[in-house]
Structure 1
Amino acid sequence: MTATTAARAGTGPGAAQRLLPLVEEFLGGRLPLRLRAWDGSTAGSGGGPVVVLRSRRALRRLLWRPDELGLARAYVTGDLDVEGDLAEALRTMWAAARHRALTPPRLSAGDRARALRTAARLGALGPRPPVPAAEARLAGALHSRARDRAAISHHYDLSNAFYSLLLDETLAYSCAYWSGTEPEQTLAGAQHAKLELVCRKLGLQGGDRLLDVGCGWGSLTLYAAERYKVRVTAVTLAAEQAGHVRAQVRERGLGELVDVRLRDYRDLDGGGYDAVSSIEMGEHVGDAEYPAFASLLHRMLRPGGRVLVQQMSRGARAPGGGAFIASYIAPDMHMRPVGDTVSLLEGAGLEVRSVESLREHYTRTVGAWRDTLEERWGEFSALVGEETARVWRLYLVGGGLAFEERRMGVDQILAVRPAEDGGSGMPATPGEWYAP
């Protein structure tokens, strides 16, 4: 039996046999996976997911960056891959980390030297691999206007064609509401149910003024103007979004009802709105900046006016986000436990009247987006390139699992600006919000 044949059979000292013990030592325990290296050698559990190192460059990326970001870079470039269902592979790994309490040990200088010697024997040493083109490169002070504009553009200005392919007809890029009123509810139906729920919670009526902060591609703006005949001021930092909403306003004849502004929320003036919405925009505001954001929501409302914030959250002990999300998807995003956001809104003078978790709804929403990505993989790859398509596969799979496993959540928080005498104008019960 030759060395190559032995390596392929899992009996010789191939790259996989040399690497797996080292990886398990660095991660603090045995892993329920099978490793296959570029030389065809395999090692590890026969029943677990198969992680494939397609080239020595995958190992070199992990040597230069032995953390989540290094793994993400290796995956999005295709240097590292997973055979089979990526979601099941990540679910298996995270379950092992929880149940086996895998804790990376503190590595000594000797440990690192031994790893380098192994890499040298495998021919994997070399200069730092280039950072993938899809990774964000931001400059300037955190949450300065220029940096926030660049962070929003990195994600939302990818192209309207991309989001039109990924999302449903509403172009709602936020958690849908799977109401169960239809036997086989589609994603579009669930998004319409979410938009209707938001409008009912805000108590919109014809002639009301609505400020939609972070309007996205205008799903709520257009729905509220068409169905409820409200006057909407739609605000976004993304030029692609603003262009799309303006085109839709012209096409639908809503010019007298909708004003689209390409503007930073901090530059908003005026006030006296009957309602304010912020649908999954508050995550981009920043931790230190959120009290001022909450004060803006209060200031924009008339007494008795309502605000609905739909916002992602994290558990008290769950980190949320992570290096991959921060580098590829939503740079500078900040999530906090929902109770902390409630406190910040109340600290700004708003009275919180309802908090509704939509966590399971987001698991299903992200699953629908992921199904579309996989079903139309060739189209996505042709449109934005294989690397960016792999970024989105990892993002949607990881995000769906984060909601499924309660590491992340999403909540609708309804609040009101009370009048001076304490009056809220709110209904005695919320039953009308959910009426068929």
Structure 2
Amino acid sequence: MAQAAGRVARALGAFVDGAIPVRIRAWDGSEAGAPADSGAPVVVLNHRRALRRLLWQPGEMGLAHAYVSGDLDVDGDLGEGLAAMWGLVRDGAVKPRKPRLGELPGVVADAARLGLLGPKPAPPPEAIRLPRFARLHSKLRDRAVIAHHYDAGNDFYELILDANMAYSSGYWADLGGELTPANLEAAQEAKLDMICRKLGLGPDSTLLDVGCGWGSLPIHAAKHFGAQVRGVTIAAEQRDHINQRIRAEGLADKVQVDLVDYRDIAARIDGYGEFDAVSSIEMGEHVGDENYPTFAATLFGALHPGGRALVQQMSRRPADSPGGGAFIETYVTPDMVMRPVGDTLTLLQQAGLEVRDVHVMREHYVPTIRAWLATLEADWDRAVALAGERGARMWRLYLVGGALAFEENRMGVDQILLSRPTTTGRSGMPATRVSFEPVSDPAGITAP
């Protein structure tokens, strides 16, 4: 009787032109596929349910469900395995095909013997469940999406992020440097410093931060530049965490954070229309195509004439999935829209903002994400205690895949500096480009 791995390899061969590109290790300990000494990724099938998932949902979604549930693993480094498999597909070394007529009886027989015939397995509970009948990007649905992504809790994010709790790309002085917590913190402080300098913040400057996360930018701007900051978020856990940090830092007279949807800012934030600067760091991806003009108009309306805005936002090429792909849309952040950066510039300009500078930071996201991943792996047991085994596996897959997407230019991230010109066309900015590079010691920052 053929062992399980041999049957799997034979069945898989009916769907792929050429040799099987991976080595398969089945639940019975058998192995087949690529030679053991070929260096090919080793796919470990811990349970026959992994194959049933792939039968019902071939491709990314079936693989994601199987990995998150623990039904499937990759032996060795997950990132190297995914990069190798993606490269085979990208370079055309693996070409899917339909089984030939004569192969179908054998495929069906192998599927039956492997126990693959049966109902569709339920997705792991970590997959998001959105409110029924909630309209796309309605306030109800947006709150549900945010709540899902932050369900792991502040303790989990404190585990993987730096001391600033900055959940966005850092700015690395050495892109090839060691991925240590200290270097991650320095990269995030450099990013925060650069944003404050681009916005021209100084003592008593006023800043509105839209989608302020755990308060890394509001606190940095107040503490190191003397700015008066209002932050808004729709995540209650984030708001509560920021308030604790504000009290601990003695910044209650400098920073205020409100639980406000960006669509309600004009009605609920005192001083709307009179801010010196407005920022939004990796939040614009989540408002959707239909609402982006409203988002852009909100940034424009918050500024007094001559004020500055900075948007840090992820992007994708036109042919790629704007939502990030099936895995991200199912497990991480549904409803996200990443468009080419040029399209975003057009939308911001249509709101009345003038584009002053576009800073491509794609390469900087690779070490940022890999530093988060290194911290997750180093404290895996605590991550499992906080998020559960499946939750921790979901985060591992998310971070590994995200780093690869930025490294291989399937995703980008850009800082867009803008101004609200006066009625006579004055931008309020220097006519020549000035250096916005961060200083080496953020603690010693003085106002520009």
The offset of 1:229, in angstroms, is: 1.5
The offset of 1:57, in angstroms, is: 1.1
Matched residue type, 2:137: H
1:58 aligns with 2:58: no
- Residues matched between the structures, number: 425
- What SS is found at the alignment partner of 1:274? strand
Matched residue type, 1:187: L
The residue that corresponds to 1:208 in the other structure is 205
Q: Deviations over 1:152-184 (max 9, x none)?
A: 111124200000011111110100001249987
Higher relative contact order (CA 8 A, sep 6+): 2
The offset of 1:118, in angstroms, is: 2.4
1:88 aligns with 2:80: yes
- What SS is found at the alignment partner of 1:186? helix
Q: Which shows bigger deviation, 422-431 or 330-339?
A: 422-431
The residue that corresponds to 1:67 in the other structure is 59
The residue that corresponds to 1:43 in the other structure is 32
- What SS is found at the alignment partner of 1:333? coil
Matched residue type, 2:400: V
1:350 aligns with 2:344: no
Q: Deviations over 1:6-62 (max 9, x none)?
A: xxxxxxx32222222433443555442101111222111122010011111111111
The residue that corresponds to 1:240 in the other structure is 237
Gaps of 5+ in 1: 4-12
The offset of 1:107, in angstroms, is: 7.0
Q: Which shows bigger deviation, 153-162 or 385-394?
A: 153-162
Q: Percent identity?
A: 56
- Partner residue of 2:279 out of 273, 277, 285: 277
TM-score by length of 1: 0.93
Matched residue type, 1:288: E
Within 2, Cα distance between the matches of 1:162 and 1:435? Answer: 29
Structure 2 contact 175–364 (Cα < 8 Å) conserved: no
Gaps of 5+ in 2: 267-271, 440-448
Q: Which shows bigger deviation, 377-386 or 104-113?
A: 104-113
- Partner residue of 1:376 out of 379, 402, 414: 379
Note the 1:156-235 alignment, pairs <5 A.
Answer: 156-180=150-174, 186-235=183-232
The residue that corresponds to 1:8 in the other structure is none
- What SS is found at the alignment partner of 1:304? strand
1:107–1:274: structure 2 CA closer, same or farther, 3 Å change rule? Answer: farther
Within 1, Cα distance between the matches of 2:333 and 2:365? Answer: 17
The residue that corresponds to 2:321 in the other structure is 319
The offset of 1:110, in angstroms, is: 9.2
Within 2, Cα distance between the matches of 1:157 and 1:53? Answer: 29
TM-score by length of 2: 0.90
Within 2, Cα distance between the matches of 1:18 and 1:137? Answer: 35
The offset of 1:102, in angstroms, is: 4.1
1:417–1:24: structure 2 CA closer, same or farther, 3 Å change rule? Answer: farther
Q: Deviations over 1:204-262 (max 9, x none)?
A: 12111111001000000100011111111111111110100011112222112211111
Within 2, Cα distance between the matches of 1:319 and 1:226? Answer: 39
Matched residue type, 1:249: I
Q: CA RMSD in A?
A: 2.1
- What SS is found at the alignment partner of 2:90? helix
Matched residue type, 2:58: P
Structure 2 contact 152–386 (Cα < 8 Å) conserved: no
Structure 2 contact 277–307 (Cα < 8 Å) conserved: yes
Within 1, Cα distance between the matches of 2:177 and 2:108? Answer: 58
Q: Deviations over 1:49-98 (max 9, x none)?
A: 10011111111111222231111010011101110011111111111111
